[in-house]
Amino acid sequence: MFFCPVSWPCQPGSFFSVFRPLVLFTAEQKVAPAGLSIGVDLTEGDKQILVDTAYQAVHGFFAQDPEPTTFSSAFDGMGNTVFVGFRVDGVKRGSWSSAGSNLLQTVYDATVNTADDTRYGQLRLDETDKLSIELFILGSEHSWDAGYEPGIHGIRLTDGQHSAMYYNSVAVESGLPPTADLLSRLCQKAGLESDCQNDPGVQLFYFPTMHLLADSPVSGVTTLYRCAVLHDPAALTASLVDTSSDAMQSRLLNDQQTNGVFGYQWDPI
């Protein structure tokens, strides 16, 4: 079955189909290096609080409200760096990060930073009702080795004076380029030569992320996984497949632009 909103001029190749075969398979799963983890154990309720706080930060930004003076102590000691990304109608509208000792405050601060980001066309007040927010909670870093997986891990490099970072979705949004090309771009982002990854004075790291998504202020929160996460076949049910398929369909339709192009790039293989 093919889907395309009748009010949108779809182009050839912009259609997508949804199939629901129940396919069980085995695959080789990479073992994460020791110490490579997110480092926080969040319940679904915790995740919803983080997303709600992000939307509250957007509201506060436009209302010019002062930042809250206190944040729930339940998130104390969670010192993860957080990237926040904005999308409106599938188009990126901002991305920024923050770090601190309380994860809830970090999300709030990163969201305000993103609302102030003008690189992609700053978010407008009249767009907030259809604002999609993504939270990337960064985990522990691991020195560069063969364990890095594009789209699964983020990357950071530093020479002690300059540094730059890509979270995991940058590789996906860039069309999954060769890792060498991604590193070259990251070097330039840091203000270094494009082949700086070969400099013995430059350190390379990769890290996992927890990726949370809310399609709108009232949609609830979804935890996104990439292909390195395998579901236990014994726990796979028709209902779970249907739920996942419906979520995928909704995400694709919401991200389709008026010219028929999808705003979120992905690798069908």
For residues 217 and 192, membership in a common domain is answered with no
20 domain residue, yes or no: no
For residues 63 and 125, membership in a common domain is answered with yes
Q: Which of 143, 124, 126, 72 is nearest to 103 (CA)?
A: 72
Question: Helix, strand, or coil here: 214?
Answer: strand
For residues 148 and 88, membership in a common domain is answered with no
For residues 46 and 127, membership in a common domain is answered with yes
124 domain residue, yes or no: yes
Please enumerate in sequence order all residues whose Cβ is within 8 A of that of 222, keeping only pairs 6 or more positions apart, or say none.
212, 213, 214, 215, 247
Q: Residue 99 and residue 81: Cα distance in Å, rounded?
A: 4
DSSP summary character for residue 175: T
Question: Helix, strand, or coil here: 205?
Answer: strand
The pLDDT assigned to 6 comes to: 30
For residues 133 and 178, membership in a common domain is answered with no
Where is pLDDT greater, at 89 or 268? 89
Count the neighbouring beta carbons within 10 Å of the beta carbon of residue 26: 7
For residues 49 and 127, membership in a common domain is answered with yes
73 domain residue, yes or no: yes
Please enumerate in sequence order all residues whose Cβ is within 8 A of that of 118, keeping only pairs 6 or more positions apart, or say none.
none
Burial state string for 201-237 with b = 16 or more CB within 10 A and e = fewer than 16: ebbbbbbbbbbbbbbebeeebbebebeeeeeeeeeee
For residues 118 and 222, membership in a common domain is answered with yes
The pLDDT assigned to 259 comes to: 75
The pLDDT assigned to 219 comes to: 85
16 domain residue, yes or no: no
DSSP summary character for residue 144: S
The pLDDT assigned to 148 comes to: 92
196 domain residue, yes or no: yes
Total domains present in the chain: 2
For residues 130 and 213, membership in a common domain is answered with yes
For residues 105 and 40, membership in a common domain is answered with yes
For residues 130 and 153, membership in a common domain is answered with no
In this structure, are residues 122 and 116 in contact, taking their beta carbons and an 8 Å threshold? Answer: yes
237 domain residue, yes or no: no
CATH code: domain of residue 40: 3.30.700.20
Q: Residue 262 and residue 142: Cα distance in Å, rounded?
A: 33
135 domain residue, yes or no: yes
On average, the pLDDT of the chain sits at: 82
Range of the domain at 172: 142-207
CATH code: domain of residue 157: 3.30.1490.150
For residues 114 and 169, membership in a common domain is answered with no
For residues 113 and 216, membership in a common domain is answered with yes
- pLDDT class of 2 with cuts at 50, 70, 90: very low
Question: Which of 152-156, 188-192, 214-218 comes out lowest in average pLDDT?
Answer: 214-218
| HSE-up of residue 249 (Cα within 13 Å, Cβ side) | 15
pLDDT digits (tens, 9 = 90+) for 19-33: 333 333 333 344 555
Per-residue pLDDT at 160 exceeds 50: yes
DSSP string covering 42-110, please?
--HHHHHHHHHHHHHHHHHHHHTPPPPS---GGGBT----EEEEEEETTEEEEEEEE--SBHHHHHHHH
The pLDDT assigned to 175 comes to: 77
11 domain residue, yes or no: no
> Interior CA angle at 227 toward 247 and 175, to 5°?
90
